[in-house]
Structure 1
Amino acid sequence: MLTDPGLRDELDRVAAAVGVRVVHLGGRHPVSRKTWSAAAAVVLDHAAADRCGRLALPRRTHVSVLTGTEAATATWAAAITVGAQHVLRMPEQEGELVRELAEAAESARDDGICGAVVAVIGGRGGAGASLFAVALAQAAAEALLVDLDPWAGGIDLLVGGETAPGLRWPDLALQGGRLNWSAVRAALPRPRGISVL
Structure 2
Amino acid sequence: MPVRRDQPARSGEDGRLLVVGPATDVREEVLRLAATAGILARAIEAAELTAAIWSGPSLVVIDADCADQVSSVALTRRSGLVIATTSRPNADVWSAAVSIGVEHVLELPAGQAWLVDRLADAAGRTEPLGALIAVIGGCGGAGASTLAAALAVSAARSGHQPVLLGADPWDGGIDITLGAEEVSGPRWPDLATVSGRLSTAAILDGLPQAHGVRFLSSARGQA
Q: TM-score, normalised by structure 2?
A: 0.67
**Residues 155 and 47 from structure 1, CA distance in 2 versus in 1: closer, same or farther, beyond 3 angstroms?**
closer
Q: Which residue of 2 aligns with 1:88?
A: 106
Q: Which residue of 1 aligns with 2:17?
A: none
Deviation, 1:45, is 1.4
- Does 1:20 find its partner at 2:39? yes
Contact 1:189–1:195, Cα closer than 8 Å, also in 2: yes
Counting matched residue pairs gives 193
Deviation, 1:112, is 1.8
Q: Which residue of 2 aligns with 1:195?
A: 214
Q: Distance in 1 between matches of 2:205 and 2:91?
A: 44
Q: Which residue of 2 aligns with 1:172?
A: 191
Aligned-partner SS, 2:61: strand
Q: Which residue of 2 aligns with 1:110?
A: 127
**Cα RMSD after superposing both structures:** 3.3
Q: Which residue of 2 aligns with 1:119?
A: 135
Unmatched 5+ residue regions in structure 2?
Answer: 1-19, 217-223
Between structures 1 and 2, the one with greater helix share? 1
Aligned-partner SS, 1:3: coil
Contact 1:66–1:89, Cα closer than 8 Å, also in 2: yes
Q: Which moved more, 1:71-80 or 1:171-180?
A: 171-180
Q: Distance in 1 between matches of 2:101 and 2:177?
A: 45
- Does 1:42 find its partner at 2:60? yes
If you compute each CA radius of gyration, which structure gives the higher value, 1 or 2? 1
Which structure is higher in RCO with an 8 Å CA cutoff and minimum separation 6?
A: 2
Unmatched 5+ residue regions in structure 1?
Answer: none
**Residues 192 and 19 from structure 1, CA distance in 2 versus in 1: closer, same or farther, beyond 3 angstroms?**
same
Q: Which residue of 2 aligns with 1:76?
A: 94
1:30 to 12, 32, 48: 48
Q: Distance in 1 between matches of 2:26 and 2:119?
A: 15
**Residues 26 and 150 from structure 1, CA distance in 2 versus in 1: closer, same or farther, beyond 3 angstroms?**
closer
% identity of equivalent residues: 35
Q: TM-score, normalised by structure 1?
A: 0.74
